[in-house]
């Protein structure tokens, strides 16, 4: 259902409902409460629809049905993936990887290793660490050997259900490696920049979203209980040690934005932070890929009224240039805004933390679909390539800025 709050009172009601973990109803916020007159998308369980509608009426809130049956979206997606599995990825043949469909975590891992094997002069695998359930989180370093090179970090999949995020990261890896020998622009980037790309930093949540609950968001940390129920998982993008536990988080373990027991309590967040810290002095850019809404978001996002870094104008200019480059390629325009002002306040996030430790160009990119597309997180696979194409154009703009940063 889509709700557009028209007053601060209505907005605060929805913020409170969101942060409570929806104890009164079975709700899943697809678009979190932002500001007045901005749409909020909420998936409502069938057994709670009537009671939720009553709550809306009691609070004088109006809602429209945005997607009548989410299961139909999921079933259609599953059928598409099943059809694609007729020709599975063969790690011995890198060209057999289908970038126009979604893949298992094991296939993603095999692809990363295969790239390093196929292009050993410019690509090598590194490990960030292991997940709660023991899956190894791998990244790929792409860069021609050389000294004093600036670094560019890109990660995806921190929220499990945002499948398009790892898919874009995989496409980016392929563009930088497969075209190195034939594309002078790509060669220049790989010669002058070390790219560190971690396609999926929440493997347990991702596999759970594939096999059990398509709309699972968090990791799969141990069960924790409140007075109503027991729930698994922590929102990894609320678990970083910068303004941890402030706006846009919840201490309720059943909330989609549960912050965890302490900063970096989750092995996936700890692994990601360690990998970035190890390269902190080299990294000049960090981009984390999310969905959905078609936004380039600029730090800081931990508070409203918004807080801005000293170099905000530079960051904004680079993001606007990147968004324009993507739009020129596909015709899809992304909004550029401060994270808190343009999306919602979220403290303890990986982008804010990355900016706080001194990385220059830091962004969250919320990729397709746009705010008027009711597919939400279940983005059809035929959108993977066009989405990846427009994002890669933007990444090239940031790579140009990375090259220009003086050590």
Which amino acids are annotated catalytic?
366
Whether 315 and 355 have beta carbons less than 8 Å apart is answered as: no
Q: Which residue reads 């809306």 in tokens?
A: 56
What do you get for the CA distance between the two ends of the chain, in Å? 49
Which residues are bridge partners to 194 per DSSP? Answer: 151
**Would the CA dihedral through 291, 295, 300, 301 be positive or negative?**
negative
Q: Which residue reads 């296939």 in tokens?
A: 107
E-strand ranges in 131-223 read: 136-142, 150-156, 193-198
Report d(CA 356, CA 299) in Å as an integer: 10
Whether 188 and 157 have beta carbons less than 8 Å apart is answered as: no
Region of residue 390 (left: phi > 0; alpha: psi -120 to 50; beta: else)? alpha
Whether 245 and 348 have beta carbons less than 8 Å apart is answered as: yes
Q: Report DSSP state, residue 263.
A: T
DSSP SS3 for 155? strand
- String of b and e for 199-213 (b: at least 16 CB within 10 Å)? bbbbbbbbbbbbeee
Angle, alpha carbons 150-320-353 (nearest 5°) = 55
User: Token pair of 212, please?
Assistant: 């059990």
Whether 24 and 61 have beta carbons less than 8 Å apart is answered as: no
**Would the CA dihedral through 317, 322, 327, 329 be positive or negative?**
positive
């Amino acid at each position: 259902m889509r709700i557009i709050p028209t007053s601060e009172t209505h907005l605060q009601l929805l913020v409170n409902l969101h942060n409570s973990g929806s104890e009164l109803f079975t709700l899943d916020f697809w678009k979190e409460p932002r500001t007045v007159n901005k749409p909020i998308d909420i998936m409502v369980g069938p057994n709670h629809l009537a009671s939720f509608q009553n709550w809306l009426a009691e609070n004088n809130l109006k809602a429209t049905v945005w997607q009548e049956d989410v299961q139909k979206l999921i079933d259609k997606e599953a059928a598409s993936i099943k059809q694609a599995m007729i020709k599975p990825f063969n790690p011995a043949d890198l060209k057999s990887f289908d970038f126009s469909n979604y893949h298992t975590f094991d296939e993603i891992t095999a692809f990363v290793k295969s790239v390093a094997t196929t292009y050993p002069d410019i690509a090598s695998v590194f490990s960030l660490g292991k997940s709660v359930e023991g899956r190894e989180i791998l990244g790929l370093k792409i860069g021609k050997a050389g000294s004093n090179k600036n670094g560019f970090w890109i990660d995806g999949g921190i929220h499990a259900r945002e499948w398009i995020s790892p898919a874009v990261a995989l496409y980016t890896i392929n563009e930088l490696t497969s075209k190195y020998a034939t594309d002078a622009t790509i060669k220049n980037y790989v010669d002058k920049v070390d790219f560190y790309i971690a396609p999926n930093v929440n493997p347990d949540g991702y596999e759970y979203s594939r096999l059990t609950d398509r709309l699972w968001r968090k990791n799969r940390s141990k069960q924790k209980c409140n007075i109503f129920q027991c729930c698994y998982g922590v929102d990894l993008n609320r678990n970083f040690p910068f303004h941890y536990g402030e706006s846009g988080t919840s201490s309720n373990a059943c909330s989609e934005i549960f912050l965890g027991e302490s900063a970096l309590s989750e092995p996936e967040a700890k692994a990601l932070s360690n990998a970035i810290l190890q390269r902190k002095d080299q990294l000049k850019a960090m981009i984390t890929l999310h969905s959905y809404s078609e936004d380039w978001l600029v730090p800081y996002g931990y508070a409203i009224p918004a807080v801005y870094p000293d170099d905000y104008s530079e960051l904004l200019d680079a993001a606007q240039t990147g968004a324009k480059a993507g739009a020129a390629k596909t015709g899809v325009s992304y909004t550029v805004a401060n994270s808190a002002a343009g999306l919602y306040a979220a403290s303890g996030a990986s982008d804010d933390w990355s900016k706080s430790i001194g990385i220059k160009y830091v962004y969250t990119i919320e990729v397709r679909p746009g705010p008027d597309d009711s597919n939400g997180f279940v983005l059809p696979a035929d959108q993977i390539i066009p989405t990846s194409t427009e994002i890669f154009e933007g990444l090239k703009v940031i790579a140009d800025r990375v090259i220009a940063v003086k050590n």
